[in-house]
Amino acid sequence: MENLERDLEEMRDYFKSGKTKEKTWRISQLKGLRQFLNHKEEEIYSVLNQDLGKHHVEAFRDEIGTLAKSLNFALEHLDNWMLPKKAKLPAIALLSSAEVVPQPLGVVLIISSWNFPFGLSLEPLIGAVAAGNCVVVKTSECAPASSAFLAKGIGSYVDGRGVRVVEGGAAVGERLLQQPWDKIFFTGSARIGRIVMTAAVKHLTPVTLELGGKCPAIVDSLSSSWDIQAAAKRLVIGKFGACAGQACVAIDYILVEHKFISTLVEMIKKLIKEMFGKSPNQAKSMARIVNKQNFLRLKNLLDEPGVRASIIYGGSMDEDKLFVEPAILLNPPNDAEIMRDEIFGPFLPIIGLDKIEDSIDFVNLRPKPLAIYAFTKDKAFQRRLVSETSSGSLTFNDAVVQYAADTLPFGGVGESGIGRYHGKFSFDTFSHDKAILKRSFLLDFWFRYPPWNNHKLQLLRQAYNLNYFQFVLTVLGLKKS
């Protein structure tokens, strides 16, 4: 979009034409996106491997598979999503009807992230076109092969007058943020999220911010060997198995009682070797770090005083290959950066506690996370975690799987984000629920109007407190007030 302002004006005119509001247009865009994934699956695998070293099975699990599922879900439920919803009215609105009509917001901007360059671009796009909007998607320059492929390839499958993909770095992002949008949807760091929100203030643009956060895993002292092994597998894959820990929903650190640490650590070590090999830098099942800048950032985390001494497993690094071996750290300093900021890499701090209930205070003393993962069969403890912690989501006895659920809202709270999406929640995020009320001229209540007196006050009080049938009887004098 070299002529950005002109192109955006054309998109606004296209939205005003009403074409994108038609159900047939929305369905055609969703089907086009599904065809894009089907036709280009092998090429998508290739560019994801080029950018991030992702194995094609991981790429299917985390991007193509989840997107195909989301598209099928949207196509199956779009008719119902678009329907006006009847609304109940108070008794005083006699002979009236009301409904809530979802309407598209207009021309919206989606700014995606590099760690899931297809998933984080197309997942919100599904909701935006399903809702009938014109959409500009700004991809991340940190995944250049994926970004270029998406920008060049998607145009044959969607309506270019209503959906466009823009490449570029920070300068392009800044230029886009200067424009008036009807919605901005951003996925990325809290630091950039603040920039996006500041820019949105100028035009009072509503924003959805999908940010990160240090997602803790709280691991209770499980008794059965089966439970321990299942929990350890899910911990390992929830930390290292999604883009080498470069995921906002990845486990950031583990909280566990001191007495259970050695059992858990030995199991995690064993599973790392089983899943990624004894020489992980040779394994193809482990993604690599996205670029040198992030590689050096991770290296600096370990070089901070007291941190390297806490490593009890792994942590070797190959700068040429941008590879970082999974590492386990035991009780690194709480004031170290690795415990203050989101790690976004394959380092797993394990923090020992006297009793597992102390995990609640530990989590609550920090910014609200995007997700909390709690491995426990203790129902009372589960209830305490639900009521006494705040996070975007709370998953018991597994990790990351909540991201794939179209029927659950995905989003953060506090510093981990604003707003939500996935499934119907994506449709709602890119819609305005317009309230429609229709009133008959046949009947009116005289006590709605001045001059006022206490009798009118009494009738108004009843109008707001009685149900519809009781109120009518009272007004007709068939029921004592």
User: Does 30 have pLDDT greater than 60?
Assistant: yes
Decide: 162 and 135 in contact? Cβ < 8 Å: yes
The one-letter amino acid code at 325 reads: E
Scan for tokens 């009780």, then name that residue: 331
Residue 365 has pLDDT above 60, yes or no: yes
Question: What's the rounded mean pLDDT across residues 115-137?
Answer: 98
DSSP state, residue 402: G
User: Could you give the percent of the chain with pLDDT greater than 90?
Assistant: 87
Give phi and psi for 137, each to the nearest 5: -110, 120
Determine the Cα angle at 294 with ends 293 and 297, to 5°: 90
210 assigned to active site: yes
Supply the CATH classification number for the domain 3-211+421-433: 3.40.605.10
Cα 339 to chain centroid, rounded: 23
pLDDT digits (tens, 9 = 90+) for 304-324: 999 999 999 999 999 999 999
Q: How far is CA 383 from the centre of its chain?
A: 24
How many CA atoms lie within 13 Å of 281's alpha carbon, on the beta-carbon side?
A: 13
Residue 118 has pLDDT above 70, yes or no: yes
- Token reading at 332: 């690194």
As a whole number of angstroms, the distance between CA 112 and CA 116 comes to 9
Of 215, 248, 342, 415, which one is the catalytic site residue? 248
Dihedral in degrees, nearest 10, Cα atoms 9, 11, 17, 20: -160
Q: What topology does CATH give the domain 216-415?
A: Aldehyde Dehydrogenase; Chain A, domain 2 (3.40.309)
For residue 278, pLDDT over 90 is answered with no
Asked if pLDDT for residue 481 goes beyond 60, the answer is no
Residue 78: which of 426, 342, 321 has the closest Cα? Answer: 426
Mean pLDDT calculated for residue range 396-425: 97
CA 366 to centroid of chain Cα atoms: 20
- Rounded CA gap, 157 and 391, in Å? 37
Q: How many CB atoms lie within 10 A of CB 407?
A: 9
Give the whole-angstrom CA distance, residue 149 versus residue 132. Answer: 25
Residue-wise over 435-474: b if at least 16 C-beta within 10 A, else e? eeeeeeeeeebebeeeeeeeebeebeebbeebeeeebeeb
Residues 6+ apart with CB under 8 A from 115: 52, 143, 243, 246, 247, 248, 290
pLDDT for the residue 470: 72
Distance (Å, rounded) from C-alpha 450 to C-alpha 456?
9
Where are the domains positioned within the chain?
Answer: 3-211+421-433, 216-415, 451-476
The pTM is what?
0.95
Given pLDDT bands bounded at 50, 70 and 90, which one contains residue 280?
A: low
Catalytic residue among 58, 63, 123, 210: 210
* Mean residue pLDDT across the chain: 94
Task: State the CB neighbour count (10 A cutoff) for residue 262.
Answer: 10
Question: At residue 271, does pLDDT exceed 80?
Answer: yes
What average pLDDT does range 366-374 have in this prediction? 97
For residues 261-280, give the mean pLDDT.
91
The mean pLDDT value for 254-259 works out to 97
Lowest-pLDDT choice from 225-239, 381-395, 443-457, 463-477: 463-477
User: Is it the case that residue 90 has pLDDT exceeding 90?
Assistant: no
Question: Do 216-415 and 3-211+421-433 fall under one CATH topology?
Answer: no
Q: Is the pLDDT of residue 26 over 80?
A: yes
Higher-confidence position of 431 and 467: 431
Q: How many Å separate Cα 301 from the centre of its chain?
A: 26
